[in-house]
Amino acid sequence: MKILINDGIEAIAISMLENAGIEVTNKHIPQEDLLVELPKYDAISVRSATKVRKELIDACPNLKLIGRGGVGLDNIDVEYARSKGIAVVNTPAASSRSVAELVMGHLFTIARGLQIANRKMPLEGQTHFSDLKKSLSKGIELETRVFGIIGFGRIGQEMAKLAIGCGMKVLAYDPYVNEVTLPLVIQDEIVKIQIRTSSFDHLIANSDVISIHTPGLEKPIINAKEIENMKNGVILLNAARGGVIDEAALLDGLNSGKIAGAGLDVFLNEPTPNDQLLTHPKISLSPHIGASTIEAQNKIGVQLAEQIIENLKK
């Protein structure tokens, strides 16, 4: 069995594949050459760069598997491939923990104004130390606060585990999920916590922190109306997709004081987000790095290799 790794993969995945007796070619063949080159292989692994469309699939009658490291499958004609008996596998859960941990980082940052401290200390830390100390002395603790999760899938559930670990209460809203049993690993012991989802309105009105974990939506799920119905001093977090929170309404809410702070990893118009968001003192920012950790990359490699081996050895 021969596999072409066209967009790179973690070294651990290559060893796993080779140890399973699969011949690995780890080099990038340009898209226009794949029609001629790919028929020499039994399988291909891609990330987002390489497209595996109908024309390419038709050119490879012996192709058995298409692997995609990561979440989206937009670059692969999945249904067509499956109709030809080709397995299509990906690793949607590999980065869930990383995204949830980043969101928690934004939350801790906002709770204590660290985004302001990190911007001002290098400039004023020696000249205005006491003023900075005074202005940043109204932080909050997270324990006992209510963490509302909109979209209770893979990342939403990881988020809940972290929030519970911090002593927060979790509310979750998801039109497709009623109840979830979360396995919490505490000092090697597994504690199971059951969470029933709530109504959207209940979550909006009762959460101190609201984090969005839905797929990309056609229109924002959080607009001026929803913000108006939130608690005063609410914290909003978005590491899902740019545009699930209306950015203008978010800015209005921050400026009026209704929203105490926001943590954003995703933006409309990436890679040139709205400047007013980037410079706002109440926003903790990151450049869409939720999934980008060493562990997530390793998990992508391991989970992809496991599925490739399982399918090619059938």
Q: Which residues are catalytic?
A: 241, 270, 288
Q: Which is nearer to ligand NAD, 156 or 273 (CB)?
A: 156
Q: Is 266 in the site for ligand NAD (CB under 6 A)?
A: yes
One of 4, 5, 56, 71 touching ligand NAD (CB under 6 A): 71
Residue reference for tokens 């399988």: 43
- Compute the distance between CA of residue 299 and CA of residue 10 in angstroms, rounded to an integer: 9
Strand partners, 25: 4
As to burial, measured by CB atoms within 10 angstroms (0-12 exposed, 13-18 middle, 19+ buried), residue 92 is middle
Q: Is 214 in the site for ligand NAD (CB under 6 A)?
A: yes
- Compute the distance between CA of residue 149 and CA of residue 211 in angstroms, rounded to an integer: 5
SS3 at position 88: strand
Torsion angle (degrees, nearest 10) of CA 275, 279, 285, 286: 50
Q: Is 226 in the site for ligand NAD (CB under 6 A)?
A: no
The answer to whether the CB of 9 falls within 8 A of the CB of 26 is yes
One of 69, 148, 153, 261 touching ligand NAD (CB under 6 A): 153
- Compute the distance between CA of residue 288 and CA of residue 265 in angstroms, rounded to an integer: 5
Q: Which is nearer to ligand NAD, 3 or 149 (CB)?
A: 149
- Compute the distance between CA of residue 151 and CA of residue 228 in angstroms, rounded to an integer: 20
Q: Closest separation between CB of residue 70 and ligand NAD, Å?
A: 8
Q: Which is nearer to ligand NAD, 41 or 152 (CB)?
A: 152
Q: Which is nearer to ligand NAD, 181 or 232 (CB)?
A: 181
Q: Is 136 in the site for ligand NAD (CB under 6 A)?
A: no
Q: Closest separation between CB of residue 68 and ligand NAD, Å?
A: 13
The answer to whether the CB of 309 falls within 8 A of the CB of 62 is no
Q: Is 288 in the site for ligand NAD (CB under 6 A)?
A: yes
Q: Is 106 in the site for ligand NAD (CB under 6 A)?
A: no
Binding site for ligand NAD (CB under 6 A): 71, 92, 95-96, 99, 150-156, 173-177, 213-217, 221, 239-241, 265-266, 288, 290-291
